[in-house]
Amino acid sequence: MNDLSDWRNHHSASILPALGRPQRLLVRGEGVHVWDETGKRYTDLLAGIAVNALGHAHPAIVEALTRQAGTLGHISNFFASPPQIALAERVLALAEAPEGSSVYFSNSGAEANEAALKITRRTGRSKIVAVEGSFHGRTMGALALTSKAAYREPFEPGVPGVVHVPFGDEAALRAAVDTDTAAVILEPIQGESGVRHHPTGYLSAAREATIAVGALLVLDEVQTGIGRTGAWFAFQHPELGEGIVPDVVTLAKGLGGGMPIGATLMFGRSVTQLLQPGQHGSTYSGNPLATAVSLAVLDTLAADGLVDHAAALGERARERFSALAEVTEVSGTGLLLGLELRDGSAKDVTTAALEAGFIVNPVTETRLRIAPPLIITDDQLLDFADALPGLLTAAAQASAAPEGRA
Ligand SMILES: *Cc1c(COP(=O)(O)O)cnc(C)c1O
> What is the pLDDT at residue 134?
98
pTM: 0.97
Write the residue with the smallest CA distance to atom 5 of ligand 1.
Answer: 109
Known catalytic membership, residue 40: no
Q: What is the topology classification, in CATH, of domain 72-303?
A: Aspartate Aminotransferase; domain 2 (3.40.640)
Residue from 105, 135, 167, 321 carrying the catalytic annotation: 135
- pLDDT tens profile 296-354: 999 999 999 999 999 999 999 999 999 999 999 999 999 999 999 998 899 999 999 99
Out of 192, 224, 251, give the residue to mutate to test ligand 1, the one with the largest number of ligand atoms within 8 Å of its CB.
192
Cis peptide before 166 (omega within 30 of 0): no
Compute the distance from residue 135 Cα to the ligand 1 centre, in Å: 7
Helix, strand, or coil here: 127?
A: strand
Question: CA-to-CA distance for 233 and 213, rounded, in angstroms?
Answer: 25
Collapsed DSSP state (helix, strand, coil) of residue 274: coil
Q: Please return the burial class of 57, using the count of CB atoms within 10 Å of its CB with bins 0-12, 13-18 and 19+.
A: middle
pLDDT on residue 406 = 42
Confidence band of 399 (pLDDT split at 50, 70, 90): confident
The tens digit of pLDDT for each residue in 47-78 reads: 999 999 999 999 999 999 999 999 999 999 99
Q: What is the pLDDT of residue 402?
A: 65
| Contact criterion met (CB below 8 Å) for 369 and 360 | yes
Task: Encode pLDDT of 129-140 as tens digits.
Answer: 999 999 999 999
How many of the other CB atoms lie within 10 Å of CB of 44? 24
Average pLDDT, the chain: 96
CA of 172 to the centre of ligand 1 (A): 25
Query: Is residue 180 among the annotated active site residues?
Result: no
Class at the top of the CATH hierarchy for domain 4-58+305-400: alpha beta
| Residue nearest to ligand 1 atom 10, measured at CA | 136
Closest CA to 253 of 110, 66, 45: 110
Q: How many angstroms separate the alpha carbon of residue 3 from the centre of ligand 1?
A: 34
For this structure, is 347 an active site residue?
Answer: no
Residue 401's pLDDT band (boundaries 50, 70, 90)? confident
In this model, does residue 38 exceed pLDDT 80? yes
Query: Probe ligand 1: pick from 139, 193, 223, 261, max atoms within 8 Å of CB?
Result: 223
Q: Which atom of ligand 1 has the smallest separation from the CA of 49?
A: 1
Cα(222) to centroid of ligand 1, in Å? 6
Q: Once rounded to an integer, what is the mean pLDDT over residues 86-96?
A: 98
The ranges assigned to domains in the chain are 4-58+305-400, 72-303
Q: Using CA atoms, how far apart are residues 54 and 227, in angstroms rounded to an integer?
A: 11
Q: What is the pLDDT of residue 2?
A: 82
Residue 118: closest CA among 79, 110, 188, 204: 110
SS3 of 88-143: the string is: HHHHHHHCCCCCCCEEEEECCHHHHHHHHHHHHHCCCCCEEEEECCCCCCCCHHHH
Closest CA relative to residue 107, chosen from 233, 295, 253: 253
Comparing 2 with 339, the larger pLDDT belongs to 339
Q: What distance in Å separates the CA atoms of residue 18 and residue 177, rounded to the nearest whole number?
A: 35
Q: What is the pLDDT of residue 404?
A: 47
Shared fold status for 4-58+305-400 and 72-303 = no
Q: What percent of the chain has pLDDT over 70?
A: 99
The one-letter amino acid at 48: G
Query: Which residues sit with their C-beta closer than 6 Å to ligand 1?
Result: 108-110, 113, 135-137, 187, 191-192, 220, 222-223, 252-253
Angle, alpha carbons 39-41-42 (nearest 5°) = 145
Left, alpha or beta for 124 (phi > 0: left; psi -120 to 50: alpha)? left
Tell whether the model's pLDDT for residue 405 goes beyond 70. Answer: no
Q: DSSP assignment, residue 234?
A: G
Contact predicate 184/218, CB 8 Å? yes
**Active-site residue, from 44, 105, 127, 220:** 220
Flag whether pLDDT at 403 surpasses 70: no
Task: For 367, list phi and psi in degrees, rounded to 5.
Answer: -130, 135
Which residue out of 105, 253, 321, 384 is catalytically annotated? 253
Distance, C-alpha 394 to centroid of its chain: 30
